[in-house]
Chain A
Amino acid sequence: MSSLRGANVSSRTGAAFMTPAALLIGLFVVFPFFWIIAVSFSNRSLLGANALHPQFVGLKNYLDLFDPATFWSQGGFGPSLWLTIQFVVLSALCGQVLLGLVLAWISRELSPRAKSLLQGIVMLAWILPDVVVGFAWFAYLDRDAGTLNQLLHGLHIPAADFLIEHPFLTICVFNAWRGAAFSMMLFDAALQSIPPSYLETADVVGASSWQKLRDIVLPLIRGHIVTDLILITMWTFNVFTPFLLTAGGPSFETDILPIYTYRIAFKSFEFGKGAAIGVIVMLINLAFSLVYLRLAQRGLRAGRKT
Protein backbone atom coordinates (compact mmCIF):
# COMPACT_ATOMS: atom_id res chain seq x y z
CA MET A 1 0.00 0.00 0.00
CA SER A 2 2.65 2.48 1.01
CA SER A 3 4.52 1.89 -2.24
CA LEU A 4 1.37 2.78 -4.17
CA ARG A 5 0.86 5.88 -2.11
CA GLY A 6 4.54 6.58 -2.71
CA ALA A 7 3.76 6.97 -6.39
CA ASN A 8 3.15 10.70 -6.15
CA VAL A 9 5.24 11.17 -9.20
CA SER A 10 5.67 8.79 -12.11
CA SER A 11 8.92 6.97 -12.75
CA ARG A 12 9.49 9.03 -15.85
CA THR A 13 9.23 12.34 -14.00
CA GLY A 14 11.40 10.89 -11.27
CA ALA A 15 14.06 9.94 -13.78
CA ALA A 16 13.87 13.43 -15.29
CA PHE A 17 14.36 14.97 -11.85
CA MET A 18 17.36 12.70 -11.26
CA THR A 19 19.09 13.51 -14.54
CA PRO A 20 21.04 16.71 -13.74
CA ALA A 21 22.46 15.30 -10.52
CA ALA A 22 23.16 11.96 -12.17
CA LEU A 23 25.13 13.67 -14.94
CA LEU A 24 27.31 15.60 -12.50
CA ILE A 25 27.91 12.62 -10.21
CA GLY A 26 28.46 10.34 -13.19
CA LEU A 27 31.01 12.62 -14.78
CA PHE A 28 32.98 13.69 -11.70
CA VAL A 29 32.56 10.81 -9.22
CA VAL A 30 31.68 7.55 -10.97
CA PHE A 31 33.56 8.04 -14.23
CA PRO A 32 36.86 9.00 -12.52
CA PHE A 33 36.67 5.77 -10.56
CA PHE A 34 36.67 3.73 -13.76
CA TRP A 35 38.96 5.96 -15.77
CA ILE A 36 41.63 5.92 -13.09
CA ILE A 37 41.78 2.15 -13.49
CA ALA A 38 42.27 2.53 -17.25
CA VAL A 39 44.92 5.23 -16.80
CA SER A 40 46.78 3.09 -14.28
CA PHE A 41 47.44 0.54 -17.03
CA SER A 42 48.96 3.18 -19.35
CA ASN A 43 52.14 5.22 -19.50
CA ARG A 44 50.21 8.49 -19.73
CA SER A 45 52.14 11.66 -18.87
CA LEU A 46 51.40 15.37 -18.99
CA LEU A 47 53.77 16.33 -21.79
CA GLY A 48 55.39 14.62 -24.76
CA ALA A 49 54.14 11.85 -27.01
CA ASN A 50 52.65 9.85 -24.14
CA ALA A 51 50.29 12.70 -23.32
CA LEU A 52 48.41 12.40 -26.62
CA HIS A 53 48.91 8.73 -27.38
CA PRO A 54 49.43 6.87 -24.12
CA GLN A 55 50.31 3.22 -24.56
CA PHE A 56 48.93 0.23 -22.74
CA VAL A 57 51.64 -1.01 -20.40
CA GLY A 58 49.73 -3.67 -18.51
CA LEU A 59 50.67 -4.03 -14.88
CA LYS A 60 53.93 -2.11 -15.26
CA ASN A 61 52.92 0.78 -12.98
CA TYR A 62 51.86 -1.63 -10.25
CA LEU A 63 54.95 -3.78 -10.65
CA ASP A 64 57.09 -0.62 -10.46
CA LEU A 65 55.38 0.41 -7.23
CA PHE A 66 55.96 -2.99 -5.64
CA ASP A 67 59.37 -3.65 -7.23
CA PRO A 68 61.43 -5.12 -4.35
CA ALA A 69 64.54 -3.29 -5.55
CA THR A 70 63.01 0.18 -5.16
CA PHE A 71 60.03 -0.45 -2.86
CA TRP A 72 61.83 0.79 0.26
CA SER A 73 63.98 3.43 -1.43
CA GLN A 74 63.68 6.98 -0.19
CA GLY A 75 60.65 8.74 -1.70
CA GLY A 76 59.26 5.36 -2.82
CA PHE A 77 55.90 3.73 -2.33
CA GLY A 78 56.90 1.51 0.61
CA PRO A 79 58.02 4.25 3.00
CA SER A 80 54.99 6.34 2.05
CA LEU A 81 52.57 3.50 2.76
CA TRP A 82 54.27 2.68 6.07
CA LEU A 83 54.29 6.37 7.04
CA THR A 84 50.57 6.61 6.25
CA ILE A 85 49.77 3.61 8.44
CA GLN A 86 51.74 5.15 11.32
CA PHE A 87 50.04 8.48 10.67
CA VAL A 88 46.57 6.90 10.84
CA VAL A 89 47.35 4.89 13.98
CA LEU A 90 49.01 7.77 15.85
CA SER A 91 47.01 10.81 14.81
CA ALA A 92 43.60 9.27 14.14
CA LEU A 93 43.21 6.25 16.39
CA CYS A 94 45.39 7.30 19.33
CA GLY A 95 44.99 11.02 18.75
CA GLN A 96 41.53 11.98 17.55
CA VAL A 97 39.47 9.09 18.88
CA LEU A 98 41.08 9.02 22.32
CA LEU A 99 41.12 12.82 22.62
CA GLY A 100 37.49 12.96 21.51
CA LEU A 101 36.50 10.41 24.13
CA VAL A 102 38.41 12.22 26.89
CA LEU A 103 36.96 15.58 25.85
CA ALA A 104 33.40 14.24 25.77
CA TRP A 105 33.89 12.51 29.13
CA ILE A 106 35.39 15.60 30.75
CA SER A 107 32.81 18.03 29.37
CA ARG A 108 30.05 15.87 30.85
CA GLU A 109 31.14 16.87 34.33
CA LEU A 110 31.77 20.55 33.54
CA SER A 111 29.40 23.43 34.15
CA PRO A 112 27.40 24.36 31.03
CA ARG A 113 29.49 27.50 30.47
CA ALA A 114 32.81 25.73 30.87
CA LYS A 115 31.55 22.96 28.61
CA SER A 116 30.59 25.28 25.78
CA LEU A 117 33.90 27.14 26.15
CA LEU A 118 35.95 23.91 25.94
CA GLN A 119 33.89 22.48 23.09
CA GLY A 120 33.90 25.84 21.30
CA ILE A 121 37.70 25.94 21.26
CA VAL A 122 37.93 22.36 20.00
CA MET A 123 35.29 23.09 17.35
CA LEU A 124 37.18 26.17 16.17
CA ALA A 125 40.20 23.99 15.38
CA TRP A 126 37.90 21.86 13.24
CA ILE A 127 35.86 24.42 11.31
CA LEU A 128 38.57 26.91 10.28
CA PRO A 129 39.64 26.52 6.64
CA ASP A 130 42.71 24.34 5.95
CA VAL A 131 45.02 27.12 4.82
CA VAL A 132 44.16 29.25 7.85
CA VAL A 133 45.10 26.55 10.35
CA GLY A 134 48.14 25.86 8.16
CA PHE A 135 49.21 29.49 8.47
CA ALA A 136 48.35 29.62 12.20
CA TRP A 137 50.52 26.54 12.86
CA PHE A 138 53.28 27.92 10.68
CA ALA A 139 53.39 30.94 13.01
CA TYR A 140 52.82 28.82 16.13
CA LEU A 141 55.82 26.59 15.37
CA ASP A 142 58.23 29.31 14.21
CA ARG A 143 61.77 28.53 15.40
CA ASP A 144 62.53 31.96 16.84
CA ALA A 145 59.31 33.73 17.69
CA GLY A 146 56.52 31.14 17.60
CA THR A 147 54.16 30.80 20.56
CA LEU A 148 55.23 27.22 21.26
CA ASN A 149 58.93 28.02 21.46
CA GLN A 150 58.24 31.11 23.57
CA LEU A 151 56.32 28.87 25.96
CA LEU A 152 59.09 26.25 26.01
CA HIS A 153 61.60 29.03 26.64
CA GLY A 154 59.54 30.06 29.67
CA LEU A 155 59.75 26.47 30.91
CA HIS A 156 63.53 26.42 30.25
CA ILE A 157 63.21 23.80 27.51
CA PRO A 158 65.48 24.44 24.53
CA ALA A 159 63.73 25.73 21.41
CA ALA A 160 63.37 23.52 18.34
CA ASP A 161 62.42 23.93 14.72
CA PHE A 162 59.65 21.35 14.90
CA LEU A 163 58.82 21.26 11.19
CA ILE A 164 62.47 20.45 10.41
CA GLU A 165 63.53 18.40 13.43
CA HIS A 166 60.32 16.44 14.20
CA PRO A 167 58.20 16.81 11.08
CA PHE A 168 56.31 13.53 11.35
CA LEU A 169 55.44 13.93 15.02
CA THR A 170 54.32 17.48 14.27
CA ILE A 171 51.84 16.53 11.56
CA CYS A 172 50.49 13.77 13.83
CA VAL A 173 49.86 16.24 16.65
CA PHE A 174 48.49 18.70 14.13
CA ASN A 175 46.01 16.20 12.71
CA ALA A 176 44.89 15.05 16.16
CA TRP A 177 44.30 18.69 17.13
CA ARG A 178 42.53 19.46 13.85
CA GLY A 179 40.06 16.58 13.89
CA ALA A 180 39.33 15.76 17.54
CA ALA A 181 36.09 17.77 17.42
CA PHE A 182 34.25 15.21 15.30
CA SER A 183 34.91 12.35 17.74
CA MET A 184 34.14 14.65 20.66
CA MET A 185 30.70 15.50 19.25
CA LEU A 186 29.92 11.92 18.33
CA PHE A 187 30.84 10.66 21.81
CA ASP A 188 29.09 13.60 23.43
CA ALA A 189 25.84 12.54 21.74
CA ALA A 190 26.53 8.90 22.64
CA LEU A 191 27.12 9.71 26.32
CA GLN A 192 23.89 11.68 26.47
CA SER A 193 22.00 8.59 25.31
CA ILE A 194 23.11 6.62 28.39
CA PRO A 195 20.37 6.62 31.04
CA PRO A 196 21.65 8.73 33.99
CA SER A 197 20.37 6.13 36.46
CA TYR A 198 23.12 3.71 35.35
CA LEU A 199 25.84 6.11 36.39
CA GLU A 200 23.99 7.21 39.53
CA THR A 201 23.80 3.60 40.66
CA ALA A 202 27.53 3.29 40.11
CA ASP A 203 28.06 6.45 42.18
CA VAL A 204 26.06 4.97 45.03
CA VAL A 205 28.32 1.90 45.18
CA GLY A 206 31.34 4.22 45.07
CA ALA A 207 32.72 3.49 41.60
CA SER A 208 35.56 5.71 40.42
CA SER A 209 35.35 7.76 37.23
CA TRP A 210 37.63 5.27 35.48
CA GLN A 211 35.55 2.28 36.60
CA LYS A 212 32.37 3.94 35.35
CA LEU A 213 34.00 4.64 32.00
CA ARG A 214 35.38 1.13 31.65
CA ASP A 215 32.48 -0.96 32.95
CA ILE A 216 29.40 1.04 32.02
CA VAL A 217 30.09 3.65 29.36
CA LEU A 218 32.48 1.91 26.97
CA PRO A 219 30.35 -1.24 26.54
CA LEU A 220 27.24 0.89 25.96
CA ILE A 221 28.77 3.15 23.29
CA ARG A 222 30.71 0.38 21.52
CA GLY A 223 28.73 0.93 18.31
CA HIS A 224 29.58 4.63 18.27
CA ILE A 225 33.24 3.86 18.85
CA VAL A 226 33.38 1.47 15.90
CA THR A 227 31.61 4.00 13.63
CA ASP A 228 34.01 6.70 14.75
CA LEU A 229 37.09 4.51 14.25
CA ILE A 230 36.14 3.65 10.67
CA LEU A 231 35.17 7.18 9.60
CA ILE A 232 38.22 8.77 11.21
CA THR A 233 40.54 6.18 9.71
CA MET A 234 39.14 6.77 6.23
CA TRP A 235 39.35 10.53 6.47
CA THR A 236 42.86 10.54 7.88
CA PHE A 237 43.96 8.07 5.23
CA ASN A 238 42.88 10.58 2.56
CA VAL A 239 43.82 13.85 4.23
CA PHE A 240 45.92 16.29 2.20
CA THR A 241 46.16 19.06 4.82
CA PRO A 242 49.65 18.16 6.19
CA PHE A 243 50.90 19.29 2.77
CA LEU A 244 50.13 22.84 3.87
CA LEU A 245 52.63 22.51 6.74
CA THR A 246 55.44 20.44 5.29
CA ALA A 247 54.71 19.78 1.59
CA GLY A 248 55.80 16.20 2.31
CA GLY A 249 59.31 17.14 3.42
CA PRO A 250 61.91 17.50 4.69
CA SER A 251 63.45 14.62 2.72
CA PHE A 252 60.15 12.72 2.44
CA GLU A 253 59.66 12.43 6.20
CA THR A 254 55.98 13.43 5.95
CA ASP A 255 55.35 11.91 2.53
CA ILE A 256 51.94 10.35 3.32
CA LEU A 257 50.04 8.74 0.42
CA PRO A 258 47.89 11.74 -0.65
CA ILE A 259 51.03 13.90 -0.82
CA TYR A 260 52.96 11.10 -2.56
CA THR A 261 50.16 10.82 -5.17
CA TYR A 262 50.23 14.56 -5.76
CA ARG A 263 54.01 14.54 -6.09
CA ILE A 264 54.11 11.67 -8.60
CA ALA A 265 51.20 12.99 -10.69
CA PHE A 266 51.73 16.74 -10.64
CA LYS A 267 55.43 17.21 -9.86
CA SER A 268 56.88 14.31 -11.85
CA PHE A 269 53.86 14.25 -14.21
CA GLU A 270 53.72 10.45 -14.20
CA PHE A 271 49.94 10.15 -14.50
CA GLY A 272 49.98 6.40 -15.05
CA LYS A 273 51.90 5.74 -11.85
CA GLY A 274 49.88 8.37 -9.95
CA ALA A 275 46.70 6.63 -11.09
CA ALA A 276 48.01 3.27 -9.91
CA ILE A 277 48.57 4.72 -6.43
CA GLY A 278 45.08 6.23 -6.60
CA VAL A 279 43.60 2.83 -7.42
CA ILE A 280 45.33 1.25 -4.43
CA VAL A 281 44.11 4.05 -2.15
CA MET A 282 40.56 3.65 -3.49
CA LEU A 283 40.66 -0.12 -2.92
CA ILE A 284 41.62 0.47 0.70
CA ASN A 285 38.83 3.09 0.95
CA LEU A 286 36.44 0.55 -0.55
CA ALA A 287 37.30 -2.05 2.09
CA PHE A 288 36.64 0.45 4.88
CA SER A 289 33.38 1.68 3.28
CA LEU A 290 32.02 -1.82 2.85
CA VAL A 291 32.67 -2.62 6.51
CA TYR A 292 31.11 0.69 7.51
CA LEU A 293 27.99 0.25 5.34
CA ARG A 294 27.56 -3.31 6.58
CA LEU A 295 27.69 -2.12 10.18
CA ALA A 296 25.42 0.86 9.49
CA GLN A 297 22.78 -1.36 7.89
CA ARG A 298 22.94 -3.86 10.72
CA GLY A 299 22.51 -0.94 13.14
CA LEU A 300 19.48 0.30 11.17
CA ARG A 301 17.86 -3.12 11.20
CA ALA A 302 18.52 -3.57 14.91
CA GLY A 303 17.12 -0.09 15.53
CA ARG A 304 13.94 -0.90 13.62
CA LYS A 305 13.31 -4.04 15.65
CA THR A 306 13.31 -2.28 18.99
Chain B
Amino acid sequence: MNRRTLLSRVVFSVCAALLGAAFALPLIWFVFAPFNAHADLDLAFPAPPTLVNFARVFANGVAVGALLNSLLQAFGTVLLVAATATLAAYALARTPLRGKHVIEYVLLLFSSVVSGSAAMVPIFLIVNALGLIDTQLAVILVFAGGLLPTAMFILRDFIASIPRGYEESALVAGASPWRAFVDVVVPVLRPGVTIAAVWAFVQVWGGFLIPFVLLRSEQRMPASVEIYSFYSQAGTPIVPLLAAYSALYSLPVIALYWYVNRKYGFRFFGGIKS
Protein backbone atom coordinates (compact mmCIF):
# COMPACT_ATOMS: atom_id res chain seq x y z
CA MET B 1 0.00 0.00 0.00
CA ASN B 2 1.63 3.24 -1.08
CA ARG B 3 1.34 6.54 0.71
CA ARG B 4 -1.38 7.93 -1.48
CA THR B 5 -3.78 5.01 -0.99
CA LEU B 6 -3.01 5.02 2.74
CA LEU B 7 -3.85 8.70 2.92
CA SER B 8 -7.08 8.23 1.00
CA ARG B 9 -7.99 5.33 3.31
CA VAL B 10 -7.54 7.58 6.34
CA VAL B 11 -9.55 10.41 4.79
CA PHE B 12 -12.26 7.93 3.87
CA SER B 13 -12.45 6.42 7.37
CA VAL B 14 -12.60 9.86 8.98
CA CYS B 15 -15.44 10.87 6.64
CA ALA B 16 -17.37 7.68 7.40
CA ALA B 17 -16.90 8.16 11.14
CA LEU B 18 -17.99 11.82 10.99
CA LEU B 19 -21.08 10.94 9.01
CA GLY B 20 -22.01 8.20 11.48
CA ALA B 21 -21.45 10.60 14.37
CA ALA B 22 -23.64 13.24 12.74
CA PHE B 23 -26.47 10.73 12.52
CA ALA B 24 -25.95 9.47 16.08
CA LEU B 25 -25.65 12.89 17.76
CA PRO B 26 -29.36 13.79 18.01
CA LEU B 27 -30.07 10.48 19.72
CA ILE B 28 -27.17 10.22 22.18
CA TRP B 29 -28.96 12.26 24.85
CA PHE B 30 -31.97 9.99 24.43
CA VAL B 31 -29.87 6.89 25.15
CA PHE B 32 -28.81 8.15 28.59
CA ALA B 33 -31.69 10.31 29.84
CA PRO B 34 -34.21 7.50 30.55
CA PHE B 35 -31.77 5.96 33.03
CA ASN B 36 -30.92 9.22 34.76
CA ALA B 37 -33.13 10.01 37.74
CA HIS B 38 -32.28 13.73 37.46
CA ALA B 39 -32.20 13.95 33.67
CA ASP B 40 -32.32 17.40 32.18
CA LEU B 41 -31.85 18.50 28.60
CA ASP B 42 -28.06 18.45 28.92
CA LEU B 43 -26.02 15.41 28.00
CA ALA B 44 -24.97 13.67 31.21
CA PHE B 45 -23.99 10.15 32.01
CA PRO B 46 -26.37 8.84 34.68
CA ALA B 47 -24.52 8.22 37.92
CA PRO B 48 -25.60 5.66 38.81
CA PRO B 49 -27.88 4.34 36.00
CA THR B 50 -31.30 3.63 37.43
CA LEU B 51 -34.70 2.32 36.42
CA VAL B 52 -36.55 4.65 38.77
CA ASN B 53 -37.91 6.73 35.86
CA PHE B 54 -39.58 3.66 34.44
CA ALA B 55 -41.16 2.90 37.81
CA ARG B 56 -42.54 6.46 37.84
CA VAL B 57 -44.03 5.91 34.36
CA PHE B 58 -45.86 2.79 35.51
CA ALA B 59 -47.17 4.66 38.55
CA ASN B 60 -48.62 7.37 36.29
CA GLY B 61 -52.21 6.54 35.35
CA VAL B 62 -52.38 8.86 32.31
CA ALA B 63 -49.14 7.52 30.84
CA VAL B 64 -50.13 3.87 31.26
CA GLY B 65 -53.63 4.56 29.94
CA ALA B 66 -52.21 6.16 26.77
CA LEU B 67 -49.95 3.15 26.18
CA LEU B 68 -52.97 0.86 26.55
CA ASN B 69 -54.89 3.02 24.06
CA SER B 70 -51.98 2.71 21.61
CA LEU B 71 -52.07 -1.07 22.08
CA LEU B 72 -55.83 -1.21 21.55
CA GLN B 73 -55.71 0.95 18.42
CA ALA B 74 -52.71 -0.89 16.96
CA PHE B 75 -54.05 -4.39 17.64
CA GLY B 76 -57.54 -3.46 16.47
CA THR B 77 -56.15 -2.15 13.19
CA VAL B 78 -53.80 -5.10 12.74
CA LEU B 79 -56.60 -7.66 13.20
CA LEU B 80 -58.89 -5.82 10.81
CA VAL B 81 -56.18 -5.28 8.19
CA ALA B 82 -54.80 -8.83 8.42
CA ALA B 83 -58.22 -10.44 8.03
CA THR B 84 -59.62 -8.26 5.26
CA ALA B 85 -56.33 -7.92 3.35
CA THR B 86 -55.75 -11.68 3.32
CA LEU B 87 -59.21 -12.33 1.90
CA ALA B 88 -58.91 -9.58 -0.69
CA ALA B 89 -55.38 -10.52 -1.70
CA TYR B 90 -56.51 -14.12 -2.20
CA ALA B 91 -59.28 -12.92 -4.47
CA LEU B 92 -56.82 -10.74 -6.40
CA ALA B 93 -54.38 -13.61 -6.85
CA ARG B 94 -56.71 -16.52 -7.48
CA THR B 95 -60.00 -15.53 -9.09
CA PRO B 96 -60.79 -14.61 -12.68
CA LEU B 97 -62.29 -11.38 -11.41
CA ARG B 98 -62.98 -9.10 -14.35
CA GLY B 99 -61.03 -5.86 -14.41
CA LYS B 100 -58.55 -7.12 -11.83
CA HIS B 101 -55.70 -5.13 -13.31
CA VAL B 102 -57.78 -2.00 -13.33
CA ILE B 103 -58.60 -2.53 -9.66
CA GLU B 104 -54.93 -2.95 -8.84
CA TYR B 105 -53.91 0.14 -10.80
CA VAL B 106 -56.60 2.28 -9.22
CA LEU B 107 -55.68 0.98 -5.76
CA LEU B 108 -52.04 1.87 -6.25
CA LEU B 109 -52.96 5.29 -7.53
CA PHE B 110 -55.40 6.15 -4.75
CA SER B 111 -53.19 4.85 -1.99
CA SER B 112 -50.38 7.15 -3.06
CA VAL B 113 -52.52 10.17 -3.89
CA VAL B 114 -54.77 10.24 -0.79
CA SER B 115 -52.27 11.07 1.94
CA GLY B 116 -53.31 11.75 5.51
CA SER B 117 -52.15 15.35 5.33
CA ALA B 118 -54.09 16.12 2.15
CA ALA B 119 -57.26 14.22 3.08
CA MET B 120 -57.60 15.21 6.73
CA VAL B 121 -60.62 17.41 6.05
CA PRO B 122 -62.83 14.81 4.28
CA ILE B 123 -61.71 12.06 6.66
CA PHE B 124 -62.70 14.22 9.61
CA LEU B 125 -66.06 15.00 7.96
CA ILE B 126 -66.78 11.34 7.16
CA VAL B 127 -65.96 10.26 10.70
CA ASN B 128 -68.09 13.13 11.96
CA ALA B 129 -71.01 12.08 9.74
CA LEU B 130 -70.71 8.53 11.09
CA GLY B 131 -70.90 9.95 14.62
CA LEU B 132 -67.51 8.45 15.46
CA ILE B 133 -65.50 11.57 16.39
CA ASP B 134 -63.55 10.97 19.60
CA THR B 135 -63.85 7.18 19.44
CA GLN B 136 -61.01 4.69 19.18
CA LEU B 137 -63.05 2.80 16.58
CA ALA B 138 -62.70 5.78 14.22
CA VAL B 139 -58.91 5.70 14.55
CA ILE B 140 -58.91 1.95 13.84
CA LEU B 141 -61.18 2.21 10.79
CA VAL B 142 -59.32 5.15 9.22
CA PHE B 143 -55.93 3.53 9.72
CA ALA B 144 -57.24 0.22 8.37
CA GLY B 145 -58.54 1.87 5.19
CA GLY B 146 -55.26 3.68 4.60
CA LEU B 147 -53.03 0.66 5.26
CA LEU B 148 -55.11 -1.92 3.39
CA PRO B 149 -53.91 -1.33 -0.19
CA THR B 150 -50.24 -1.85 0.70
CA ALA B 151 -51.03 -4.83 2.92
CA MET B 152 -53.00 -6.37 0.05
CA PHE B 153 -50.09 -5.99 -2.34
CA ILE B 154 -47.65 -7.56 0.12
CA LEU B 155 -49.98 -10.52 0.65
CA ARG B 156 -50.90 -10.92 -3.00
CA ASP B 157 -47.24 -11.44 -3.86
CA PHE B 158 -46.98 -14.09 -1.15
CA ILE B 159 -50.10 -15.90 -2.37
CA ALA B 160 -48.86 -15.80 -5.95
CA SER B 161 -45.79 -17.75 -4.81
CA ILE B 162 -47.88 -20.60 -3.32
CA PRO B 163 -48.31 -23.49 -5.81
CA ARG B 164 -51.92 -23.68 -6.99
CA GLY B 165 -51.90 -27.44 -6.59
CA TYR B 166 -52.22 -27.01 -2.83
CA GLU B 167 -55.73 -25.62 -3.00
CA GLU B 168 -56.72 -27.54 -6.12
CA SER B 169 -56.29 -30.85 -4.35
CA ALA B 170 -58.45 -29.59 -1.49
CA LEU B 171 -61.11 -28.41 -3.96
CA VAL B 172 -60.98 -31.70 -5.86
CA ALA B 173 -61.43 -33.51 -2.56
CA GLY B 174 -64.70 -31.60 -2.18
CA ALA B 175 -63.74 -28.71 0.10
CA SER B 176 -65.56 -25.41 -0.31
CA PRO B 177 -63.49 -22.41 -1.47
CA TRP B 178 -63.74 -21.03 2.08
CA ARG B 179 -62.44 -24.30 3.64
CA ALA B 180 -59.63 -24.48 1.08
CA PHE B 181 -58.71 -20.91 1.94
CA VAL B 182 -58.79 -21.38 5.72
CA ASP B 183 -57.18 -24.84 5.89
CA VAL B 184 -54.67 -24.62 3.04
CA VAL B 185 -53.83 -21.02 2.18
CA VAL B 186 -53.86 -19.33 5.60
CA PRO B 187 -51.32 -21.69 7.24
CA VAL B 188 -48.88 -21.38 4.32
CA LEU B 189 -49.31 -17.63 4.35
CA ARG B 190 -48.06 -17.09 7.90
CA PRO B 191 -44.80 -15.25 7.03
CA GLY B 192 -46.65 -12.89 4.69
CA VAL B 193 -49.31 -12.12 7.29
CA THR B 194 -46.60 -11.61 9.92
CA ILE B 195 -44.81 -9.03 7.80
CA ALA B 196 -47.99 -7.19 6.85
CA ALA B 197 -49.15 -7.23 10.47
CA VAL B 198 -45.83 -5.98 11.86
CA TRP B 199 -45.78 -3.22 9.29
CA ALA B 200 -49.36 -2.19 10.09
CA PHE B 201 -48.66 -2.30 13.83
CA VAL B 202 -45.65 0.00 13.50
CA GLN B 203 -47.62 2.48 11.37
CA VAL B 204 -50.48 2.76 13.86
CA TRP B 205 -48.27 2.69 16.94
CA GLY B 206 -46.22 5.62 15.64
CA GLY B 207 -49.09 7.42 13.91
CA PHE B 208 -49.71 10.95 15.12
CA LEU B 209 -51.85 13.00 12.74
CA ILE B 210 -54.93 10.73 12.59
CA PRO B 211 -55.53 10.37 16.35
CA PHE B 212 -54.50 14.02 16.79
CA VAL B 213 -57.29 15.12 14.45
CA LEU B 214 -59.97 12.53 15.32
CA LEU B 215 -59.74 12.31 19.12
CA ARG B 216 -60.73 14.91 21.70
CA SER B 217 -60.67 13.50 25.22
CA GLU B 218 -57.49 12.65 27.02
CA GLN B 219 -58.60 9.20 28.20
CA ARG B 220 -58.71 8.01 24.57
CA MET B 221 -55.41 9.51 23.37
CA PRO B 222 -52.65 7.13 22.27
CA ALA B 223 -49.10 7.53 23.59
CA SER B 224 -47.96 9.45 20.48
CA VAL B 225 -50.35 12.35 21.08
CA GLU B 226 -49.73 12.19 24.83
CA ILE B 227 -45.95 12.53 24.40
CA TYR B 228 -46.38 15.45 22.03
CA SER B 229 -48.72 17.31 24.34
CA PHE B 230 -46.29 16.72 27.23
CA TYR B 231 -43.22 18.21 25.57
CA SER B 232 -44.93 20.92 23.54
CA GLN B 233 -46.76 22.40 26.51
CA ALA B 234 -45.56 25.69 27.88
CA GLY B 235 -43.32 25.34 30.90
CA THR B 236 -40.68 22.75 31.53
CA PRO B 237 -41.77 19.22 30.74
CA ILE B 238 -41.04 16.53 33.32
CA VAL B 239 -37.94 15.44 31.46
CA PRO B 240 -36.91 12.21 33.29
CA LEU B 241 -40.45 10.83 33.16
CA LEU B 242 -40.93 11.76 29.52
CA ALA B 243 -37.56 10.31 28.48
CA ALA B 244 -38.35 6.96 30.09
CA TYR B 245 -41.85 7.04 28.65
CA SER B 246 -40.56 7.71 25.12
CA ALA B 247 -38.02 4.91 25.46
CA LEU B 248 -40.73 2.51 26.59
CA TYR B 249 -42.94 3.62 23.74
CA SER B 250 -40.12 3.11 21.20
CA LEU B 251 -39.28 -0.36 22.45
CA PRO B 252 -41.93 -2.39 20.53
CA VAL B 253 -41.02 -0.64 17.27
CA ILE B 254 -37.30 -1.34 17.63
CA ALA B 255 -37.97 -4.93 18.72
CA LEU B 256 -40.32 -5.61 15.79
CA TYR B 257 -37.97 -4.14 13.20
CA TRP B 258 -35.11 -6.12 14.67
CA TYR B 259 -37.16 -9.33 14.61
CA VAL B 260 -38.38 -8.94 11.03
CA ASN B 261 -34.93 -7.89 9.85
CA ARG B 262 -33.34 -10.96 11.43
CA LYS B 263 -35.98 -13.37 10.25
CA TYR B 264 -36.88 -12.13 6.79
CA GLY B 265 -34.27 -9.53 5.86
CA PHE B 266 -34.95 -5.90 5.20
CA ARG B 267 -36.03 -6.18 1.60
CA PHE B 268 -39.65 -6.27 2.72
CA PHE B 269 -39.38 -2.93 4.37
CA GLY B 270 -37.76 -1.30 1.36
CA GLY B 271 -40.76 0.18 -0.34
CA ILE B 272 -43.45 -0.05 2.24
CA LYS B 273 -42.73 2.29 5.08
CA SER B 274 -44.97 5.35 5.28
Residues of A within 8 A of B (CB): 3, 5-11, 13-15, 17-18, 20-22, 24-25, 27-33, 35-36, 39, 44, 102-103, 106-107, 109-110, 114, 117-118, 121-140, 142, 144-148, 150-151, 177, 180, 182, 185-186, 189, 209, 231, 234-235, 238-241, 244, 247, 257-258, 261-262, 265-266, 271, 274-275, 278, 281-282, 285-286, 288-290, 292-293
Contact = CB atoms under 8 A, between A and B. Distances in A.
B62 interface: no
B19 A282 contact: no
A301 B217 CA distance: 51
Contact of B94 (A9, A29, A231): A9
A213 to B, nearest CB: 13
Interface string B17-37: 001101111111110010000
B29 A29 contact: no
A244 B208 contact: yes
B253 A129 contact: yes
A130 B203 CA distance: 10
A251 B91 CA distance: 52
A139 B121 contact: no
B145 interface: yes
Given A8-B94, A28-B142, A265-B120, A17 B224 contact: no
Contact of B91 (A15, A39, A134, A142): A15
Contacts of A278: 118-122
Interface of chain A, helix or strand or loop or mixed?
A: helix
Contacts of A285: 112-113, 115, 118
B91 A18 contact: yes
A214 B273 CA distance: 30
A8 B274 contact: no
Contacts of A6: 94-96, 164
A261 B117 contact: yes
Contacts of B90: 9, 17
A286 B113 contact: yes
A240 B98 contact: no
B19 to A, nearest CB: 7
B103 to A, nearest CB: 8
Contacts of B205: 129
B10 interface: no
B268 to A, nearest CB: 11
